[in-house]
């Protein structure tokens, strides 16, 4: 049995069919023109839709702008509150709790120690003038300060001067630097 | 000779072909001409409009959000909030008010005020007042005035005085203290203090319409609830 195949590359024999090609081309031209007009109309329609939407949005914008303008007083108040509070956020950490610092020095130094003078600055620098009756208290002071440096709230402790008073006691001048934690409200 | 005949035949055929192709040629010509004159400019305009529309939608979104946020603010509540915040951080430097407040606090703590000094350059005048806050500015700005104060009192009363300074409106801070304790515990202790007072600018005009509404952040809300509202008012 002989198999029949379809020759897809079959060429028309004889004369080149110009008329049919022209017809096809004309048809293609008309179709292109139709497609072009469809695209043109579509674009124009889309453009007009966009314009319409733009107008709608513009009207809505005006409405919202009017609302905002009507609430201008509220906005000013809100801005003012915001401005002041953001300033207060920066101001409050500057408040050093001096009462807490005085209580702190009163609590960790031995009872025998008498305060002569105290000077504290907001950066946590403390200069303390104290008086002790005997050398035993001096040792206690040293112990307490070194323990505060490791576990407590002191960053630095320095003995500036030491002198004997008329009664045989000791006058000490000490400098401290406090860790900020705990002394700012 | 034969060759020339053939060429002539093709030329005639071509003429007929062009005639028959007129629809195609006109169509293509129309597409090209109207495309260049009408379609392309129209397309360009549409694309521009589309871009504008996207921006307009964004703007509308921002405006709607701002309008909704503003509409959601309770006018009574914001007035109350502004009043208490302004009381904590006033607009104008006023030495008299500061002195009056300190005197009141000292009296409450049982401390007597000996003197209060302020550097001449720091005293409020109409021209030297805080500059108007620029609208829409996110970070607040404030001015500080330092007062040198001398007071006298018992140790415990002085501590109470320091505590009161920190818990009273308008906000004040102690910049430093220096005190000498006398031999006699019954004797009053003189203390030198540096008191810092603060003033802030005031917002007088709303921000531009498109600028988003400045809302309070978590930290500011916390400061308001935990500090400002708890300040004692005089």
Provide DSSP, B62-126: HHHHHHHHHHHS-HHHHHHHHHHHHHHS-SS--HHHHHHHHHHHHHHHT-EEEEEEE-GGGS--T
Across chain B, mean pLDDT equals: 83
- Alpha carbon B60 to its chain's center: 21
Beta carbons of A102 and B157 less than 8 angstroms apart: no
Stronger pLDDT, B7 or B109, i.e. the higher one: B109
Residue among A103, A31, A64 nearest B70 (CA) = A64
Q: Is position B83 within any domain?
A: no
What pLDDT, on the 0 to 100 scale, is given for residue B13?
Answer: 65
Q: Does A46 reach chain B within 8 Å, measured CB to CB?
A: yes
| Mutation for testing the B interface, residue in A63, A79, A109 having most B CBs under 10 Å | A79
Q: Is position B168 within any domain?
A: yes
Q: Is the model's pLDDT at A52 over the cut of 90?
A: yes
Q: Does A164 reach chain B within 8 Å, measured CB to CB?
A: no
Q: Is the model's pLDDT at A60 over the cut of 80?
A: yes
DSSP state of A45: H
Residue of B nearest to A18 (CA): B17
Q: Does B154 reach chain A within 8 Å, measured CB to CB?
A: no
Mark whether B116 and B173 lie in a shared domain: yes
Q: Is position B41 within any domain?
A: yes
Strand partners, B199: B143
Strands B232-233 and B168-169: parallel
Q: Select the residue of B20, B206, B224 nearest A85 (Cβ to Cβ).
A: B224
Mark whether B35 and B100 lie in a shared domain: no
Number of domains observed in the structure of chain B: 2
Instruction: List pLDDT tens digits, range B201-216.
Output: 887 788 888 888 888 8
What pLDDT, on the 0 to 100 scale, is given for residue B112?
Answer: 92
Mark whether B29 and B111 lie in a shared domain: no
Domain segments of chain A as ranges: 95-178
Residue of A nearest to B202 (CA): A80
Q: How far apart are CA B83 and CA B87, in angstroms?
A: 6
Query: Does CATH number 3.30.1360.100 belong to domain A95-178?
Result: yes
The first and second tokens of residue B13, run together, are 């055929």
Say if the Cβ atoms of A33 and B204 lie within 8 Å: no
Beta carbons of A83 and B201 less than 8 angstroms apart: yes
Helix (H) or strand (E) holding B201: none
């Amino acid at each position: 049995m002989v198999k029949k195949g379809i020759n897809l590359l079959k060429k028309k024999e004889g004369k080149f069919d110009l008329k049919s090609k022209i017809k096809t081309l004309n048809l293609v031209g008309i179709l292109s023109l139709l497609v072009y007009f469809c695209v043109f109309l579509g674009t124009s329609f889309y453009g007009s839709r966009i314009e319409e939407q733009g107008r709608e949005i513009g009207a809505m914008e005006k409405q919202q702008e009017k609302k905002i303008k009507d609430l201008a007083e509220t906005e000013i108040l809100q801005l003012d509150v915001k401005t002041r509070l953001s300033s207060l956020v920066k101001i409050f950490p500057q408040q050093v709790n001096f009462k807490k610092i005085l209580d702190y020095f009163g609590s960790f130094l031995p009872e025998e120690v008498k305060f002569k003078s105290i000077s504290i600055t907001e950066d946590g620098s403390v200069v303390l003038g104290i008086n002790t009756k005997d050398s035993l208290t001096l040792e206690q002071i040293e112990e307490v300060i070194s323990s505060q440096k490791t576990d407590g709230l002191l960053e630095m402790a320095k003995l500036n001067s030491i002198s004997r008073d008329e009664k045989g006691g000791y006058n000490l001048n000490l400098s401290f630097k406090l860790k900020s934690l705990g002394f700012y409200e | 000779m034969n060759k020339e005949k053939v060429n002539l035949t093709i030329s005639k055929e071509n003429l007929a072909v062009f005639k028959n192709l007129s629809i195609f040629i006109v169509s293509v010509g129309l597409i090209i001409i109207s495309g260049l004159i009408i379609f392309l400019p129209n397309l360009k305009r549409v694309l521009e409009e589309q871009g504008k529309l996207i921006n307009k939608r964004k703007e509308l979104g921002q405006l709607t959000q701002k309008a909704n946020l503003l509409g959601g603010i309770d006018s009574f509540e914001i007035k109350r909030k502004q009043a208490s915040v302004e009381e904590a951080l006033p607009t104008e430097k006023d030495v008299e008010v500061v002195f009056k407040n300190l005197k009141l606090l000292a009296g409450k703590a049982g401390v007597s005020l000996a003197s209060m000094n302020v550097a001449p350059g720091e005293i409020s005048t109409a021209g030297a007042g805080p500059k108007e806050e620029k609208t829409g500015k996110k970070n607040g700005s404030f001015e500080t005035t330092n007062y040198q104060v001398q007071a006298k009192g018992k140790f415990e009363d002085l501590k109470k005085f320091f505590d009161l300074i920190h818990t009273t409106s308008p906000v004040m801070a102690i910049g430093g203290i220096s005190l000498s304790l006398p031999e006699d515990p019954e004797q009053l202790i003189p203390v030198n203090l540096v008191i810092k007072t603060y003033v802030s600018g005031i917002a007088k005009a709303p921000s531009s319409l498109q600028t988003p509404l400045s809302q309070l952040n978590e930290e500011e809300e916390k400061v308001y609830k935990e500090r400002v509202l708890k300040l004692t008012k005089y």
